[in-house]
Structure 1
């Protein structure tokens, strides 16, 4: 299994796709082993439960899919729009969704991202985007960063 961190910030697109696929399978394997109590347990003040972490990953998939599409449509540089992660998780009330529904939604969103990445013209990987701090990055960098972020939180869910 490749360690994306060793290649960051620019693992090739195939490595990103492979790692994303691996993370989907990994969480798909572990998620059903947790009890409802384990999924909603809050590990401390201001910390998210496993369901809320997965909800955050759902929000992240939604926002990043949008970024990946806009980076292909908008003239460079694409100015990335922030989103309030805490508010999105709070409003999503993921604690009150069934575990199976959350996993299905997250998996489906990421399968759509994989579908998009499989058809992404290579020339667009260098499309410039401006981060929230106006730092220039490429679409390629955004994709790798998304996969690293997802990997971090999948590990967090499993080892909560």
Structure 2
């Protein structure tokens, strides 16, 4: 998937996320399947299991879900800005601050999953509405070059990265 991108569409800082995408096919289909898979995976958990942390100071399963949801919202905003040709640099975000302030452990798992589904659906609607030429627009995100197309791929690759962590470290 990353091979379809030109080298000037992304920086080394996001390459890891882009490398997570190994399937071929329509990105919208991959994205939909990924959302359904994650909802099914989390839907099998009890509230107690969703509060699990694999080590002291690490995020709980609920906090990972909250982080994924926040990231979709942030990445979607970036996608919109880049696709519309925004010339102002877009900021990064401090993920640990967002997780702490999100207070995800206090929310019910069903509530977190509903929010996740809503923001994922909105991001998909945005991406599907963008013409191909808009996906080629480039800007600066967190001090690095990024195209709208690479940001769309990051939505998928970032989640894939965290799914692997959930499998390997959380047993989810």
Give the alignment's TM-score, normalised by structure 2. Answer: 0.79
Are 1:124 and 2:146 counterparts? Answer: no
Using the alignment, how far apart are the partners of 1:37 and 1:75 within structure 2? Answer: 43
Q: Give unpaired runs (5+ residues) of structure 1.
A: 1-6
Do the aligned partners of 1:10 and 1:144 also contact (CA within 8 Å) in 2? no
Are 1:98 and 2:108 counterparts? Answer: yes
Q: Give unpaired runs (5+ residues) of structure 2.
A: 6-24
Using the alignment, how far apart are the partners of 1:16 and 1:80 within structure 2? Answer: 24
Moved more, 106-115 or 138-147: 138-147
Cα RMSD, aligned residues only: 2.2
Using the alignment, how far apart are the partners of 2:53 and 2:3 within structure 1? Answer: 32
Match of 1:4 in 2: none
Of 134, 156, 162, which residue of structure 2 is paired with 1:153?
162
Give the alignment's TM-score, normalised by structure 1. Answer: 0.85
Do the aligned partners of 1:9 and 1:144 also contact (CA within 8 Å) in 2? no
Shift, 1:158, TM fit: 4.7
1:32-90, Cα deviation, whole Å (9 max, x unpaired): 211211110111122111100000011101111111121233444x5221111101000
Match of 2:78 in 1: 67
Q: Pick closer, same or farther for the CA change 1:55–1:79 going to 2, 3 Å.
A: same
Moved over 4 A (4+): none
Shift, 1:109, TM fit: 0.2
Shift, 1:157, TM fit: 3.2
